Amino acid sequence: MLAAFACEDTNGRERQTARQRAAVKTISPSPTPTPTAPPVDCMKAKCVALTFDDGPGEHTARLLDDLKAAGGRATFFMLGQNVAGNEALLKRMVQEGHEVANHSWSHPEMTELSSSAVRAEVQRTNDAIQAASGVRPTMFRPPYGATDARVGRAVAMPQILWSVDSLDWQHRSVSTNIRIGTSEPESGGIVLFHDIHPASVDAIPQVLSGLKRRGFTFVTVSQIFQGQTLKPGHQYLQAERPLPKPKPASPSGTPSGSPSGTPSSGPSGGPGRAPSGGPPSPSPSWTPSATPLAPSAPAS
Give how far Cα 202 sits from Cα of 140, 196, 225, 256, Å: 26, 11, 28, 45
Check whether 57 has a pLDDT greater than 50.
Answer: yes
Name the helix (H) or strand (E) containing 78: strand 75-78
Evaluate whether residue 31 is within a structural domain: no
How far apart CA 163 and CA 237 sit, in angstroms, is: 5
- Residue 194: active-site member: yes
**Cα end-to-end span (Å), the chain:** 84
DSSP 4-72: HHHHHHHHHHHHHHHHHHHHHHHPPPPPPPPP-PPP--TTTS-EEEEEEES---TTHHHHHHHHHHHT-
Helices (DSSP H) in the chain: which residue ranges?
2-26, 60-70, 87-95, 115-133, 149-155, 168-171, 174-183, 198-213, 221-224
Q: Is 57 exposed, middle or buried (0-12, 13-18, 19+ CB in 10 A)?
A: buried
- Residue 53: active-site member: yes
Evaluate whether residue 39 is within a structural domain: no
- Non-local CB neighbours of 87 within 8 Å, separated by 6+ positions: 132, 133
Evaluate whether residue 74 is within a structural domain: yes
Check whether 38 has a pLDDT greater than 90.
Answer: no
Structural domain of residue 165, as residue ranges?
Answer: 47-236
Mean pLDDT calculated for residue range 128-151: 98
How far apart CA 228 and CA 125 sit, in angstroms, is: 25
The catalytically annotated residue of 53, 66, 195, 202 is 53
The catalytically annotated residue of 59, 194, 197, 234 is 194
Check whether 36 has a pLDDT greater than 50.
Answer: yes
Evaluate whether residue 103 is within a structural domain: yes
Evaluate whether residue 274 is within a structural domain: no
Q: What is the pLDDT of residues 172-208, one digit of tens each?
A: 999 999 999 999 999 999 999 999 999 999 999 999 9
Q: What is the pLDDT of residues 92-137, one digit of tens each?
A: 999 999 999 999 999 999 999 999 999 999 999 999 999 999 999 9
Evaluate whether residue 209 is within a structural domain: yes
For the chain, what is the domain count? Answer: 1
Q: What is the pLDDT of residues 226-268, one digit of tens each?
A: 989 999 999 999 997 665 556 665 555 444 333 333 333 333 3
Name the helix (H) or strand (E) containing 159: strand 159-160
Mean pLDDT (the chain) is 80
- Non-local CB neighbours of 60 within 8 Å, separated by 6+ positions: 52, 76, 86, 89, 195, 201
How far apart CA 297 and CA 290 sit, in angstroms, is: 20
78 forms beta bridges with 102
- Non-local CB neighbours of 73 within 8 Å, separated by 6+ positions: 37, 67, 97, 98, 99, 218, 219, 220, 223
Evaluate whether residue 187 is within a structural domain: yes
CATH assignment of the domain containing 113:
3.20.20.370
Check whether 281 has a pLDDT greater than 90.
Answer: no
Q: Give the relative orientation of helices 87-95 and 115-133 as an angle to the nearest 10 degrees.
A: 70
Burial profile 86-112: b = 16 or more Cβ within 10 angstroms, e = fewer: beebbbbbbebbbbbbbbbbebbbbee
Check whether 164 has a pLDDT greater than 70.
Answer: yes
Evaluate whether residue 169 is within a structural domain: yes
